[in-house]
Amino acid sequence: MTAAPDAGVSARVSESLLRTLGGADYVDPAVFAAECERIFEAGWFCAVHASDLPEPGSFRTVQVGRESILLTRSRRGELRGFFNVCRHRGAQICTEPSGQARRSFQCPYHAWTYDFDGRLVAAPNLTSMPDVGREEYGLRRVHVREWLGYVWVCLAEEPASFETTVEQEILDRLGAMSNLEAYDVASLQVGRRITYDVAANWKLIVENFMECYHCATIHPELTEVLPEFADGLAAQFFVNHGASFGEGIEGFTVDGRVGLERLPGLTSDRDRKYYAITIKPQVFVNLVPDHVIFHRMFPMGPDRTVVECDWLYLPEVVASGADLSASVELFDRVNRQDFEACERCQPAMSSRAYADGGVLVPSEHHIALFHDWVASHVR
Amino acid sequence: MIRICSTDDVVPGEGLRITSTVPPIAVFRTEDDEFFALDDTCTHQDASLADGWLEGCRVECPLHASTFDLRTGAVDEPPARLPVRAHEVEVRDGEVFVTLSTAVPHLPPGVTLGAS
């Protein structure tokens, strides 16, 4: 009897290489459920931009792990987040992804009615049930905070430490918070938003964002602007390393033409640099001299992830109606190229040939740290 | 005329449900510090107008958004079709007094006089 030609291969890999996760981790509903429970529903999750909720009763509903979360502002303008679940019989309160509630949130089933603080203010025959507490039967709240102009939520009973998770990711990447503060991200406005519905597991998208081994192959425009990406080394490997614009490149645009007004807080050493940050588990930030590209991922299932990407500019640039297209098009192309690559991988994740996973070359070895991070939460 | 509550019991811009009367009434205090009193129960379905949305001289039922005039009890649009009764209010020395209307109240289906 002869051994199968690949017998024993799974036991070890060449010295230059590290193993990826096995294919099942990208397709198994049980794995995805565990990630939802231990990662997305446990830690801080970046949900929407603060400007998506301009006034009391403005709302967005977002998927956080397995939960639908309703975000709004109270009558006093304070951010509020609730589980989008009626306390009566469980109907979803808001089925629209966004909108403006007039006076209250009313369940469309039996008209249980909640104010913008989540308090139960009315229900048919409620006056004859004086023992039903208006706070007690209010919408269940989630923790909410605003940072970098975004609304972050935490579904845990006791919120995770924002400092040792989200903020630590910035420190790990940029070395000091001041290196991010120079961009004053919270003061910027959304100039453009593009939503991508990606048929791939969220981890494939994170892994893709963390490495640049693929850049020279699938990102011709980006590699023109940032020639060092052709060396395949990760932009996110070295602390506070920014990739330099190529010679003759005047701005972070699809054809290297001059960009928009430069962010005023930047020192000259950041004038022609690109920085990329991954804030695990679902945020990617790109910093360039005249704008910030901010991705939020919403894992919808093992094989589907919605990505909302915002291009943020100075308020005066957005107000001026300046043409943002050359600026937006560069990273829109990068996104489409990346997501197409991720979608190409997804079907192979359930292949027998990938059951033991693949391998990471040295310029991808830091992805193993991401795998360790996932494993430390889920296992 | 009966004493209903103190002025401080009612937050400006809100209403207070009073269950010591039959049927219960709602006392409203506008942002301009005027006081009004209506039957508290919407004429369409059992809901407390004191929990409604007060704006200017009208209160909007929290359930189905018919609005009632604080001065007359008149309703603007369906689903409620009948007015609520308006009661005469007098404010003296920080106390709110009401003379209850003697008209027959319009209560919604399933709500009877005496039920609180």
Instruction: Report pLDDT digits (tens) over A305-354.
Output: 999 999 999 999 999 999 999 999 999 999 999 999 999 999 999 999 99
Token pair in block for residue A176: 């000091």
Which chain B residue lies closest to A114 (C-alpha atoms)? B62
CATH of the domain at B43: 2.102.10.10
Contact assignment for A104 to B62 by CB distance below 8 Å: yes
First-to-last alpha carbon distance for chain A, in angstroms, is 38
Cβ-based interface (< 8 Å): residues of A facing B: 102-104, 106, 111, 113, 121-128
A131-164 tens-digit pLDDT: 999 999 999 999 999 999 999 999 999 999 999 9
- Specify if B112 maps to a domain: no
Give ipTM to 2 decimals.
Answer: 0.80
Residue A5, pLDDT above cutoff 60 = no
What confidence score (pLDDT) does residue A275 get?
94
Whether chain A has a CB inside 8 Å of the CB on B2: the answer is no
Residue B72, pLDDT above cutoff 50 = yes
Q: Do residue A282 and residue A183 come from a single domain?
A: yes
Rounded (5°) CA angle A120-A121-A127: 105
Q: Do residue A138 and residue A174 come from a single domain?
A: no
Whether chain A has a CB inside 8 Å of the CB on B116: the answer is yes
Contact call for residues B63 and A122 (beta carbons, < 8 A): yes
- Specify if B92 maps to a domain: yes
CATH of the domain at A62: 2.102.10.10
Contact assignment for A122 to B63 by CB distance below 8 Å: yes
Q: Do residue A194 and residue A246 come from a single domain?
A: yes
Give chain A's domain count. Answer: 2
Whether chain A has a CB inside 8 Å of the CB on B5: the answer is no
- Specify if A35 maps to a domain: no
Which of A102, A103, A125 is the closest to B46 by Cβ? A125
Residue A6, pLDDT above cutoff 80 = no
Question: Which of A154, A181, A216 is the last residue in one of the domains?
Answer: A154
What confidence score (pLDDT) does residue A19 get?
94
- Specify if A310 maps to a domain: yes
CATH of the domain at A253: 3.90.380.10
Contact assignment for B62 to A128 by CB distance below 8 Å: no
Q: Which of B43, B61, B63, B66 to substitute to test the interface with A, most A CBs within 10 Å?
A: B63
- Specify if A255 maps to a domain: yes
How far apart are the CA of A101 and the nearest CA of chain B, in angstroms?
13
Q: Do residue A140 and residue A185 come from a single domain?
A: no
- Specify if B109 maps to a domain: no
Q: Do residue A239 and residue A354 come from a single domain?
A: yes
Q: Do residue A170 and residue A57 come from a single domain?
A: no
Residue A232, pLDDT above cutoff 90 = no
Q: Do residue A259 and residue A137 come from a single domain?
A: no
Residue A190, pLDDT above cutoff 50 = yes
Contact call for residues A181 and A265 (beta carbons, < 8 A): yes
Averaged pLDDT score across all residues of chain A: 94
A54 vs A38: CA distance, rounded Å: 31
What confidence score (pLDDT) does residue A7 get?
44
Please give the residue range of the domain that contains residue B76: 2-99
Which of B53, B60, B63 is the closest to A124 by Cβ? B63
Residue A3, pLDDT above cutoff 70 = no
Give chain B's domain count. Answer: 1
Q: Do residue A142 and residue A251 come from a single domain?
A: no
A86-123 tens-digit pLDDT: 999 999 999 999 999 999 999 999 999 999 999 999 99
Question: For strand A150-154 and strand A189-198, is the pairing parallel, antiparallel, or unpaired?
Answer: unpaired
Contact assignment for A127 to B45 by CB distance below 8 Å: no
- Specify if A34 maps to a domain: no
How far apart are the CA of B93 and the nearest CA of chain A, in angstroms?
30
How far apart are the CA of B51 and the nearest CA of chain A, in angstroms?
6
Please give the residue range of the domain that contains residue A78: 44-154
Q: Do residue A104 and residue A215 come from a single domain?
A: no
What confidence score (pLDDT) does residue B112 get?
83
Token pair in block for residue A142: 């989630």
Which chain B residue lies closest to A115 (C-alpha atoms)? B62
- Specify if B25 maps to a domain: yes
Q: Do residue A214 and residue A313 come from a single domain?
A: yes
- Specify if A2 maps to a domain: no
Residue A2, pLDDT above cutoff 70 = no
- Specify if A168 maps to a domain: yes
- Specify if B105 maps to a domain: no
Residue B79 preceded by cis peptide, ω within 30 = yes
Determine how many CB atoms are found less than 10 A away from the CB of residue A257: 11
Contact assignment for A103 to B48 by CB distance below 8 Å: no
Which chain A residue lies closest to B55 (C-alpha atoms)? A103
Whether chain A has a CB inside 8 Å of the CB on B62: the answer is yes
